[in-house]
Amino acid sequence: GGIITQTPKFLIGQEGQKLTLKCQQNFNHDTMYWYRQDSGKGLRLIYYSITENDLQKGDLSEGYDASREKKSSFSLTVTSAQKNEMAVFLCASSPTGVQNTLYFGAGTRLSVL
Amino acid sequence: GDQVEQSPSALSLHEGTGSALRCNFTTTMRAVQWFRKNSRGSLINLFYLASGTKENGRLKSAFDSKERYSTLHIRDAQLEDSGTYFCAVANNAGAKLTFGGGTRLTVRP
């Protein structure tokens, strides 16, 4: 079986700071995703990528950049952290094909002071 | 955009009992996936359905694309079933899943 590794697990930033979250998968999946989860809400898609160097905007892309440097790696940048922001960022991957099952990493918990 | 509503938002069950969680969506969807978020915050795959029903142990899920809903049935609930359950639906474009708001399940002794 494969695994999705997100780093760091916890991230504390300052208002206005640029913050980068990293995600690695060894499933050899084509598609990777970044979701944001706020307390009491469902997951919202920020960016996804269907192959290396591809980037597609989700519903919540404003304020974020992403980069698919290679097939196994997908990073997310918060361009300017908002004061008192708290959320969990989840990375996921899925194989291409009819069955688009998503597999998730353990998440990065962001707190902005 | 696509809308996905889960009900109930919270559910409390006694050990050994059962119930059903529901996921309604506003347009025809290609597939549905159910997850449980455990106490450590990890999202665990439960089911992926493009049609019909699937069963795994004490869990059973059904997907009706035409009627625009999916259900997750839990029977003989155990303490370790506690957590937040999410449904997510895939539209015909394929790559993107839209998540519901989740159902927080608490199983009590």
Nearest-angstrom CA–CA distance, B65 and B47: 15
Read off the pLDDT of residues A55-89 as tens digits, 9 standing for 90 and up: 999 889 999 999 999 999 999 999 999 988 889 99
DSSP B43-97: EEEEEEESSEEEEETTEEEEEETTTTEEEEEE-S--GGG-EEEEEEEE-TT-S-E
Q: Residue B80: phi, psi to the nearest 5?
A: -75, -5
**Residues 6+ positions from A87 with CB-CB distance below 8 Å:** A36, A37, A38, A109, A110
Q: Does residue B94 register a pLDDT over 80?
A: no
- Across chain B, mean pLDDT equals 89
CATH code: domain of residue B55: 2.60.40.10
- DSSP characters over A44-74: EEEEEESSTT--EE-TT-TTEEEEEEETTEE
Tokens coding B59: 């869990």
Residues of A in contact with B101 (CB under 8 A): 40-42
Measured between CB atoms, does B56 come within 8 Å of chain A?
no
Q: How far apart are the CA of B53 and the nearest CA of chain A, in angstroms?
A: 15
Average pLDDT over residues B95-104: 84
**Can you give the residue range of the structural domain that contains B68?**
4-108
- Which residues share a beta bridge with A111? A12, A86
Contacts of A45 in chain B (CB under 8 A): 96-98
What domains can be seen in chain A, in order of their start residue? 4-112 (2.60.40.10)
Asked if the Cβ–Cβ distance from A42 to B99 is below 8 Å, we say yes
pLDDT per residue over B27-62, tens digit each? Answer: 888 889 999 987 767 788 899 888 999 999 999 999
pLDDT at B75 over 80: yes
The whole-angstrom separation of Cα A48 and Cα A23 is: 12
Please tell me which of the candidates B48, B95, B102 has its beta carbon nearest to residue A31: B95
Read off the pLDDT of each residue in B7-35 and give the average, rounded to a whole number: 93
* Per-residue pLDDT tens digits for A5-52: 999 999 999 999 999 999 999 999 998 999 998 876 778 889 999 889
Cβ of A40 within 8 Å of Cβ of B101? The answer is yes
Determine the pLDDT at residue B52: 95
Give strand pairing partners of B70: B23, B63
pLDDT of residue A103: 86
State the DSSP string of A91-107: EEEE-SSS----EE---
- Give the per-residue pLDDT at B2: 56
The pLDDT score that the predictor gives to residue A98 is 42
Residue with tokens 């009819």: A98
- Number of domains, chain B: 1
pLDDT band at B63 (very low <50, low <70, confident <90, very high): very high
